[in-house]
Amino acid sequence: MRRKPKFKIPARHLLISLTLLCAIAVYASFTMNLSGGPLNTVAGYVFIPMQRGINSIGLWISDKMDNLKDLRDVMAENKELKAQVEELTSELNTIKLEQYELDNLRELWDLDKKYPSYEKIAANVIGKDLGNWFSVFTIDKGAKDGIETDMNVIAGSGLVGIVTDVGPNYARVRSIIDDVSKVSGMVVSTSDRCIVHGDLQEMNANQDILLTDLKDSDDKAAVGDPIVTSNISDKYLQGILIGYIGSIQMDANNLTKSGTVTPAVDFEHVEEVLVILEKKESGEET
């Protein structure tokens, strides 16, 4: 037995029909002034909840759109602020570098004025031997600039060392802290002479070098007294600050004293130096 086909209304047609019906009902309600009538009642049950829902959805969408706009504005502002921070950081680093270079130049200028009787030329350190200290290093000035071997080198507050090798546009410097260095010194407060020896092991341990053969018969030399190059050195010009007495004690012979000297120069950070374009003429000691 065949079943009769069920009658179906397409969903699209049903939606159109309901829409038309609602429109007719609303029109009739307004034109026929049926306030309080059944159409208004139906409208109250049907359209008001729909309107509330549509309003809620509209408000939600509007809120989300506002949030999205605010987020985009914040992201754009954040990107702009990051760019400003990077620019300011770069400017600050440049200022710090310029200030650092200015301080170094001012230090060299003050040192130059400290020894006005000597003609000098400034040079940059361009290389060094292995190790933490600038015991042997290379500068960017040489024979073309008037530099010769045995010329004294100063930096910071005093004596750095001496030129040992010269090329056309470079020179090698051996500092007073190197193990083979030896300088004839004098205690400023007593005028007593001594020998200052380089010692990298002592530098690594206490950042000092060695003091020997000090004849302090009146026991006037004390910790903190400055030591300068003496007048009897055959390579170092007189009166250049070497450092300060770090420790002192009597030797076993009860005739001389020994101890340590804290260098006047920071031999861990040597970047610019002054080479004195004058050599010691003669002397008895190193």
Residues 93 and 194 in one domain: no
> Is 162 among the domain residues?
yes
pLDDT of residue 221: 93
Token digits of residue 211: 């003091």
Residue 152 lies in a domain: yes
Last residue of a domain, which of 60, 79, 114?
A: 114
Is 4 domain-assigned? no
| 19-55: burial string, b at 16+ Cβ within 10 Å, e else | eeeeeebeeebeeeeeeeeebeeebeeeeeeeeeeee
Each residue's pLDDT expressed in tens, for the chain with a length of 286 residues: 555 555 566 656 655 666 676 667 666 656 655 455 555 565 555 556 655 666 676 677 767 677 777 777 778 887 777 777 777 666 666 565 555 455 655 666 677 777 787 889 999 999 998 888 999 999 999 999 999 999 999 998 899 999 999 999 999 999 999 999 999 999 999 999 999 999 999 999 999 999 999 998 888 999 999 999 999 988 999 999 999 999 999 999 999 999 999 999 999 999 999 999 999 875 444 5
pLDDT score for 94: 58
DSSP 3-state assignment of 81? helix
Residue at a domain's end among 92, 114, 136: 114
> Rounded to the nearest 10 degrees, how much is the dihedral formed by the CA atoms of 155, 160, 163, 165?
-100
- Cα separation, 75 vs 194, in Å, equals 71
The answer to whether residue 182 sits within a structural domain is yes
Rg over alpha carbons for the chain, rounded to the nearest Å, is 45
pLDDT number for residue 29: 58
Helix (H, G, I), strand (E, B) or coil at 259: strand
Domain that holds residue 82: 22-114
Residues 92, 208, single domain; the answer is: no
State residue 284's pLDDT score: 46
CA distances for 38 relative to 31, 32, 42, 52, 107, angstroms: 14, 12, 6, 21, 100
- The answer to the question of residue 86 being in a domain is yes
**pLDDT score recorded for residue 157:** 84
Assess if residue 12 is contained within a domain: no
How far is 100 from 106, CA to CA, in rounded Å? 10
**Whole-number pLDDT of residue 131:** 87
3-state SS class at 285: strand
The number of domains in the chain is: 2
pLDDT at residue 202, rounded to an integer? 94
β-bridge pairing 272-276 and 152-155: antiparallel
Q: What are the residues facing 211 on neighbouring strands?
A: 196, 259
CATH code of the domain containing 139: 2.40.10.340
